[in-house]
Amino acid sequence: MNEPGRLFALQQAMRPASLAWALVDAGTLEMRFANPAMQRLLQPGSRSPAAPALDMFESARKAVSQCLETGRETTTRLPGLPGLWHFSPIADDGAIPAVQCYVLQTGTASPEPDDELGLGHVNRFEAFLDHLPYQIWMATPHGEVTWFNRALHEYAYREVRPLSLREGIWIDIVHPDDLAAVNTGLSRALITEKPTGYRLRIKRHDGQFHWFFASLSPVRNAQGRILYWVGANLGIDSIRRSENQLRDQITTLSHQLRLKQQALDQAETYLAQAQKMGMVNQLSAGVAHDMKNLLFITGLHAGMLERQLGEPEQLEHVDVILNTIQKAGSLASHLTGFSSRKSMQLASADPRALVQDLEPLLSKAVGQNAELQLRMAASIWPISVDKLYFENSLINLCLNARDATEEHGLITLTAENVLLKRPGHAGDYVMVSVTDNGMGMSEEIKARIFDMFFTTKPEGKGAGLGLPMVKNFMDHVQGLIEVESTQGLGTVVSLYFPRAQPAATQSPQAATPAGRQETILLIEPDLAARNAMAQVLYGLDYQVVTAYLPEVAQRYINSGMKVDLIIAADEFPPPLNIANMQQELARKQILIPLVLLTSSEEAELPQARECRYAVLSKPMDIGELARTVQRMLNPGCTTPADLPAA
């Protein structure tokens, strides 16, 4: 028999075994190979035994023939020889070239050591395992790998070859990164004596590693003692790829979830800021309204006092009061402007004059310990700004600079003409910058300085509204704000204002015009304001009828009272506010001009366009009120000379 490589490998594997094992040629029925244990069994005492003759036993020939005919294992006893003889066919490509023979001891005699380990039983179904398409391997009860089936041989070595597995050669085909997991799995199985499983990568004969799931189970005898371990490797490359794809998808989804969570957190932050802003808007609008009413009353009384005083020194004090009232009114307007309810009143102005007027207030703002320097160019172009917003922006910047220097640094305010070449901002600009030598800012803080309510100051020291308001102001005037800062060196905030046309020269204020006993219907809910307004109008030679509600005023008119002009506050809610009252009067063809007094920029104006109307913002001085009243009563008059002076 020309022995194939597989039979040769079996011979090499069984040569050191203590189990009596042999190969019988299927054609001649002659024993072609016997391991030393079989030779000692057939020729006891021989030191150099040759291949013994098995065909001299009739029972052996019959058993081999039956095995070849049926293709199944047969068992028999041989006269004069111990044990039970097993003959099992070895199939190769559909043929049976040989029959393996092994002997299991019977009776009460002590079993051989390897029989105790179950190797006799291993050989009984080795041929069956060899035909399975799965990778099968076996190990002793102590975990020593002793056998690979044909599928595992062909995967790892391309062919069946003799291996000395007891030396741990199997380690060479396991991926180095998986050896720890394999060792842990084997150890766990040996300790618990229970089936286990683990993943590993096994190297194929071409050097490529593939993923397998190895299961390891014990085989026990009738007494429950482990005879050997059987392991099986199941390829899981496709499962592993699916897991990797699923893991990648989970990673992608987790990333998307984090982004959405960040967006949600940002949205919640914006919502909280918007809610805070809404509260601030509501508060600022209410404060501004009440402040303007108080200033309005104070201004009216100061105006009446001015008309009764004759001494120049006394008039100077009244002028100061009136100027202060105007500034306070501007501050109140700024509160409504902060809440986006008041549009900025842009006008051409001289930056030098604005800064010089503001210098005393800036000096007080930075404190006595910090040094404020002004560096103004000799000639500066005019700019178009809202004076109050401009002043407030510079105050905010100087306060921030003071805090950055911890109230002991140098703060420089510079104003000069520049030729700007920024994208979207090119041409003649006026730069107004505030520089400090304070602590500076990191890039992370610098990136957030225009975020609403963001502040690095301690709680109670800053609201995070200053720079956002400055940024809003610069956007409104179509200017540009730039911030340069270096930690430890300081910060420069530069405001760039577009060059504007020079301001027109204002004509001298005309004298306060008086009335001619025209009837004015005054509608004002506040008693103090109503009384002050009535006194002013009386002093201007008008007949005054007062009402605290539009409904009362409407009853006066519907009763036939002749009214030349209505002066009304805008504070009445529906259903009958001033606008609705004017509409109802217009439907009855009662067209009376209206002067609407407002403390906000959201006054509801009359829809009846036939009715002439004017809007005055509180507080206003008596002269402005008188001129507006005369303009509404005498629409044909175009010059102050046409109006009688008080």
Per-residue pLDDT reduced to its tens digit, 287-312: 666 666 666 677 667 666 666 666 66
Instruction: Tell me what the pLDDT averaged over the chain comes to.
Output: 78
- Among the CATH numbers 3.40.50.2300, 3.30.1490.190, 3.30.565.10, 3.40.50.620, which is that of 351-498? 3.30.565.10
Report the share of the chain in percent with pLDDT over 70.
Answer: 73
Q: Cβ neighbours of residue 466 under 8 Å, at least 6 residues apart?
A: 396, 397, 399, 400
Instruction: Find the mean pLDDT for residues 256-285.
Output: 72
3-class secondary structure, 252:
helix
Domains of the chain: which residue ranges?
5-239, 247-338, 351-498, 519-642
Pairing of β 21-25 and β 31-34: antiparallel
Report the share of the chain in percent with pLDDT over 90.
Answer: 13
**Nearest 10 degrees: Cα torsion 357, 361, 363, 366:** -140
**Nearest 10 degrees: Cα torsion 585, 588, 590, 593:** 40
- Give, to the nearest 10 degrees, the angle between helix 578-587 and helix 550-558: 20
- This prediction has a pTM of 0.39
3-class secondary structure, 86:
strand
Q: What's the CA gap between 340 and 331, in Å, rounded? A: 14
> Residue 628: what pLDDT?
86
CA 125 to chain centre: 63
Q: How confident is the model at residue 184 (pLDDT cuts 50, 70, 90)?
A: confident
For domain 519-642, give the CATH number: 3.40.50.2300
> Are the C-beta atoms of residues 60 and 75 closer than 8 Å to each other?
no
**Half-sphere exposure at residue 222, Cβ-oriented, CA atoms within 13 angstroms:** 0
> Residue 453: what pLDDT?
62
> Residue 130: what pLDDT?
74
The answer regarding whether domain 5-239 maps to CATH 3.30.450.20 reads yes
Higher pLDDT, 639 or 536: 536
Residue type, 235: G
pLDDT (tens digit, 9 = 90+) per residue, 492-535?
999 999 998 876 555 545 556 777 888 899 888 888 888 888 88
Provide the 10 A C-beta neighbour count for residue 298: 18
Higher pLDDT, 427 or 539: 427
Q: 567: which strand partners? A: 522, 595
Structure tokens at 394: 């510079």
- Give, to the nearest 10 degrees, the angle between helix 312-338 and helix 387-404: 80
For the chain, the first-to-last Cα distance in angstroms comes to 143
Q: How confident is the model at residue 374 (pLDDT cuts 50, 70, 90)?
A: very high
Q: How confident is the model at residue 604 (pLDDT cuts 50, 70, 90)?
A: low
